Chain A
Amino acid sequence: MQQTSTTAPQSTTRHAKIAIIGSGFAGLGLAIQLRRRGEHDFIVLERAGDVGGTWRDNIYPGAACDIQSHLYSFSFRPNPDWSRVYATQPEIHAYLKEASIDEGVQPHITFDAELLSCTWQAGAAHWALNTSAGSFTADFVVTAAGHLSDPKLPSIPGLEKFERPMFHSAQWDQSFEPEGKRIGVIGSGASGIQIVPELAKTAGKLTVFQRSAPYIIPRVDHEYTTAQKSMFRRMPETAQALRDELFWGNEARFPQRRGIADFIAKIETTALDHLAAQVPEGELRDNLTPDYMIGCKRILISNDYYPTFLRDNVALETSGIVEVRERSIITNDGEIELDALVLGTGFEAADLPITHRIFNENGRSMAESWTSGGAAYACSTVAGYPNLFIMNGPNSGLGAGSIIYVVESQIQYILGALEFMDSTGASTIEIPQQAQDKFVAAIDERAADTVWLNGGCYSWYVDHRYGRLTTVWPDFMTRFRRESGRFKPDEYLVDGKSMDGTRRLESVSAGAAT
């Protein structure tokens, strides 16, 4: 249904029932499931030129997943042909791209459409979306903008002065040639530890600036044989069994995050033994030994990061960066000249940039409304923002497991909500503040006993403005699916009214109850 805007006669505002922001795993997964259910009245607004989200953006050398691919994929689109246990970025990107084509999602996507504002129109009971590719309206909006999507630059004095090539790991300059160059890598997190061994192969001198050492465990990776892939294809239940095994294996890691000594002892020994096996005793090993409780920061998986520091052309810098100059970095130990600087400094996960572009009817952004950090009922809906669902939003991240499981849980939640709205014929659905506060209070209570708030580290899991754990789910993934993956209308205001007995009977008789 198209409307012609009265203020700009040459532009038209397209209307869709559902607008999905983003075409990574979350946006694509939801789009696929909508189409499979016969719901075609939706658009996908993608700010880049291709699908894939994180797996489109991160093209740095060595980019790969640290969750096994048979688990880090859609349960409804298993891939028997994963080439290896931990797939690399190109393979994952290809998987998503193929899915978007095969499932007929591509025609729904508007590329190069960056969301500029998304404002609730109370009178019309729909959202008005303003993008770099035109204006849209939608009855429902789903943000699928990811949580590791917007590069975070370090706040180091003088960073902007550096006049030689400098880029964030997620904005890799493909024309950059590392051969023979003096390269600095700031950051030793998940991206940094993949980049460093690759650059070290040809760099003249590679300096890694580490603020805090990660815990690293061995990467048990291998290629799948033709026979295995054929088995997965011929007997899909074997791939499902593997997926379930990987899933429960990851679940069994969660107690490590809750201070359970037996679980922690085991993983800590694994990590420290790995370091000891790869780096001889001495100052280097000391500098690579973390000084906080394991799990407080993301536990990384690599076999080639530690050995990289034994190379002659690689140095580990831990004295701390004082400032950046035009062609060098000043540390507390001295000056290091550099031909290039790579910033493996992660992403803005707490103050989600998308929330600065979503506005309620009074023009207040969601970011402003979050007066003590990210907060959403069932990790999906926010008081004051009707008909809107956030994927990979507050407390939907994981410290140990496949985020795709969470994504699929959120897809089911959103589908349940949409079915409910269809069956009742209602126009608006909104969570009241009190229900949201109660949900968030329960999250905070569970978070209080986790390593993320007790482990003595500084991580992106915590919103440091408020000292709250707002990025990860502080419980088992199965609990997320149970609590935040099954839509229940009970707490919501539907067309402004709370669900009372009569309303509930109506919705049951209309077949909306699950």
Chain B
Amino acid sequence: MVTRLTEPRQNAWHADGTLHKPLLIEPTGHVEQAGRLIPIYDSGNETSTATIVLVHGSSGTARGSFWAVYPILTFTRRVVAFDLQLPADDAELTLADAVAQLRAVVDHASAGGAVALVGYSFGAVVAAAHASERPTTVASLSLVAGWSKTDRHQLLRNNLWQRLHDADPEALSRLTLLMAYSAGYLVGRNERDWRELQQAVAARPYPAQIMRLNRDIDIESGLGRIDVPTLVIGCRHDDMVPLHHSHMLFGAISDARYLEIESGHAVSVERPAELAVAVDDFSLDPHEHPAGTIIRNDHA
């Protein structure tokens, strides 16, 4: 579906033919919340469709989760991403805190109407929690590689993560590679991309505060209150948040439809176009597929 823009979108090209800088590095602004400033990345283009709000995962930053997906969505949509602010001095991050930050960002983004909320991984948990509390601010909800209750399998990994984080960061980055990416993706990289991937993972370990919070997630009781059209996206080869979690979300949310992407947990890197198009199409017409639909993959 073509989205007609009501105002000219910020063009990718400067008048002199050069490009804009990479996105999700310099915040476009800040949202104030509980005495702190949350950096936001607002593409700023006005459209006649719902603004997309992206909630990042355990990588800790919008760029970490969405560097490939955000720009694709901005072709036709206004997109707002943000970086979750962590409490100082390694104090505990609570889900309530994360949800409060998201609420502030959604308030900013929803001046023109309810938003298309998209949460990835840990961000899906936060997004689902927000939607269960503030459904009128959410026109549609996309939960990508998310979960509702931390289980033994996740704790196994989380414990291992913690031990390696403290004792062996190099081994930790290998664990992350192994669990975040599908085998096919790792095997399929050429030499240069494989080197860069290893370097990128080693350079950006997940914030420990988010990983500790991940141990105790339980939003099951709130899922029944999510009264907005939802798309649950599960990744077929997800070893970090396996498919059964997405199956549960699909069952628990009444107005949910389900899509599987052939990818590892890092779907936004492995299949950025597929993820972006799926989220974009769904949020433009949330009821194109009735509740309960398992959306067929349109194979090439």
Is B299 a contact of A262 with CB atoms below 8 Å?
A: no
Chain B residues whose C-beta falls within 8 Å of the C-beta of A220 in the assembled complex: 190
Q: Which chain A residues border B1 with CB–CB below 8 Å?
A: 482-483
Q: Is B202 an interface residue (CB 8 A)?
A: no
Chain B residues with CB under 8 A of A478: 273-274, 277, 298
- Interface check B12, CB cutoff 8 A: yes
Q: Are A248 and B12 in contact (CB under 8 A)?
A: no
B71 at the interface (CB under 8 A from A): yes
Q: With an 8 A cutoff between CB atoms, is A71 at the interface?
A: yes
Query: Would you call B19 and A264 a contact (CB within 8 A)?
Result: yes
Q: How far is the CA of A446 from the CA of B272 in the complex (A)?
A: 20
B262 CB within 8 Å of chain A: yes
**Cβ 8 A contact of B20, one of A241, A261, A482:** A261
- Residue B17, interface by CB 8 Å: yes
Given A75-B299, A259-B12, A454-B13 in contact, is the A248-B23 Cβ separation under 8 Å?
no
Please measure, in the bound complex, the distance between the C-alpha atom of A261 and the C-alpha atom of B26, giving whole angstroms: 14
**Which A residues from 239 to 253 make CB contacts under 8 A with B?**
240-241, 243-248, 251-252
User: If A261-B23, A262-B67 touch, does A252 touch B12 (CB 8 Å cutoff)?
Assistant: no
A162 within 8 Å of B by Cβ? no
Is B22 touching A261 in the complex (CB atoms < 8 A)?
yes
**Docked CA distance A514–B184 (Å):** 35
Closest residue of chain B to A218 (Cβ to Cβ) is B190
Interface string of A249-284 (1 = CB under 8 A from B): 001101100111111110000100000000000000
Tell me if B294 counts as interface (CB < 8 A to partner A): no
Q: List 7 A-B contacts (CB under 8 A).
A: A258-B12, A258-B71, A260-B19, A262-B22, A449-B13, A455-B17, A476-B273
The contact string, 1 if C-beta is below 8 Å from chain A, for chain B 254-293, is 0000000010000000011110010001000000000000
CB-based contact B22/A265 at 8 Å: yes
Q: Judging by beta carbons under 8 Å apart, are A479 and B277 in contact?
A: yes
Shortest Cβ gap from B46 to chain A (Å): 15
Q: A251 contacts B274, CB within 8 Å?
A: yes
Query: Among residues 387 to 443 in chain A, which have CB atoms less than 8 Å away from a CB atom of chain B?
Result: 402, 405, 442
In the bound complex, do residue B72 and residue A255 qualify as a contact, i.e. CB atoms below 8 Å apart?
A: yes
User: Taking beta carbons and an 8 Å cutoff, which residues of A are in contact with B?
Assistant: 71, 75, 218, 220, 240-241, 243-248, 251-252, 254-255, 258-265, 270, 293, 402, 405, 442, 445-446, 448-449, 454-456, 475-476, 478-479, 481-483
Residue B192 at the A interface, CB < 8 A?
yes
* Chain B residues whose C-beta falls within 8 Å of the C-beta of A481 in the assembled complex: 298
B71 in complex: contacting residue of A245, A248, A255, A442, CB < 8 Å:
A255
Query: Which residue from A240, A246, A259, A445 sits with its C-beta under 8 Å from B19?
Result: A259
CA distance A446 to B262 in the complex (A): 29
The winner among B5, B23, B271 for most chain A CB atoms within 10 A is B271
Task: Tell me whether B298 and A261 are in contact (CB under 8 A).
Answer: no
Closest beta carbon of chain A to B170's beta carbon, Å: 25
Assuming the A-B contacts A255-B71, A260-B12, A449-B13, are A244 and B300 also in contact, with contact meaning beta carbons closer than 8 angstroms in the complex?
yes
Instruction: Give the residue name and chain of the B residue nearest to A401 (CB).
Output: B300
Nearest-neighbour CB distance to chain B for A475, whole angstroms, equals: 8
Q: How far is the CA of A263 from the CA of B75 in the complex (A)?
A: 14
**Chain B positions within 8 Å of A218 at CB level:** 190
Structural contact, A258 and B75, CB atoms closer than 8 A: yes
The B31-86 residues at the A interface (CB cut-off 8 A) are 67-68, 71-72, 75
Asked if B11 CB lies within 8 Å of chain A CBs, one says yes
Chain A positions within 8 Å of B271 at CB level: 248, 252
Of listed A252, A258, A402, residue having the most chain B CB within 10 A? A252
- Is B152 at the interface (CB under 8 A from chain A)? no
B68 to chain A, nearest CB (A): 7
